[in-house]
Amino acid sequence: MAKVCVPLAAGFEEIEAVSLIDVMRRGGIEVVVAGVNEDLVTGANGITVKADTDIKNVIADELDMIVLPGGWGGTHVLAENETVQQLLRDMQAKEKIVGAICAAPFALKQAGVLSEHYTCYPSVEEQIGKEGYTDSEKVVIDGNVMTSRGPGTAICFGLAIVRKLVGEETYQQLKEGLLADYC
């Protein structure tokens, strides 16, 4: 079974985090929600989520992927937290998958793991750098880096992760079951 870590920091975008966690778990992926600096993490819109573990307990060797939800508040914490930044670098060094949605590709850039081609929430590319940015795709896969645009693309992003880690058959069944024909 594939295993993915979703780190949550105060100010995370709730739709993105919960949609990703839900879709991946429905797809048969073991998802570990890791709190950054706290175990009860409050998102940008006041919704609190209880983490499964602390980010300091997460080891790259035990994961297939790490995926960061957006929200500027949470993204800045992820970009400044050395444990998260080192985990991203370790994942890349081990040729494992890293992903980010919305503002969170900024944290990938800070770790030096953002791929040449990426997408993010409109205007965030100004903070990251416009080179390689596209707004024409909901999900961009470039090597072992996956990025997506924002809350409205979170289900599509989760499905793309399921497709990559679990396979086409599960992806198609889940997409149909979620009525996600737009992905």
* CATH number of residue 93's parent domain: 3.40.50.880
From the number of C-beta atoms within 10 Å of its C-beta (0-12, 13-18, 19+), residue 1 rates as exposed
Structural domains counted in the chain: 1
Q: What is the per-residue burial (b if ≥16 Cβ within 10 Å, else e) of 103-135? A: bbbbbbbbbebbbebbbbbeebbeebeeeebee
Mean pLDDT of 119-132: 93
Q: Identify the active-site residue in 102, 120, 156, 183.
A: 102
Q: Looking at the domain assignment, is residue 34 inside a domain?
A: yes
Q: What is the pLDDT of residue 112?
A: 97
Q: Looking at the domain assignment, is residue 93 inside a domain?
A: yes
Q: Label residue 152 by pLDDT band (50, 70, 90).
A: very high
Q: Could you tell me the residue range of the domain that residue 81 belongs to?
A: 3-177
Q: Looking at the domain assignment, is residue 168 inside a domain?
A: yes
The gap from C-alpha 74 to its chain's centroid, in whole angstroms, comes to: 12
Q: Strands 65-68 and 3-8, how do they pair?
A: parallel
Report the percentage of the chain scoring pLDDT > 70: 100
Q: Looking at the domain assignment, is residue 183 inside a domain?
A: no
Mean pLDDT of 72-101: 98
Mean pLDDT of 43-56: 98
Confirm whether 120 is a catalytic residue: no
Instruction: With 0.85 as the threshold, say if the pTM is over it.
Output: yes
With a cut of 90, say whether residue 74 has pLDDT above it. Answer: yes
Q: Looking at the domain assignment, is residue 88 inside a domain?
A: yes
The average confidence (pLDDT) of the chain is: 97
Q: Looking at the domain assignment, is residue 182 inside a domain?
A: no
Q: Looking at the domain assignment, is residue 100 inside a domain?
A: yes
Q: Looking at the domain assignment, is residue 138 inside a domain?
A: yes
- 19-37 pLDDT, tens digit per residue, is 999 999 999 999 999 999 9
Mean pLDDT of 88-100: 98
With a cut of 90, say whether residue 130 has pLDDT above it. Answer: no
Mean pLDDT of 137-165: 98
Q: What is the pLDDT of residue 15?
A: 98
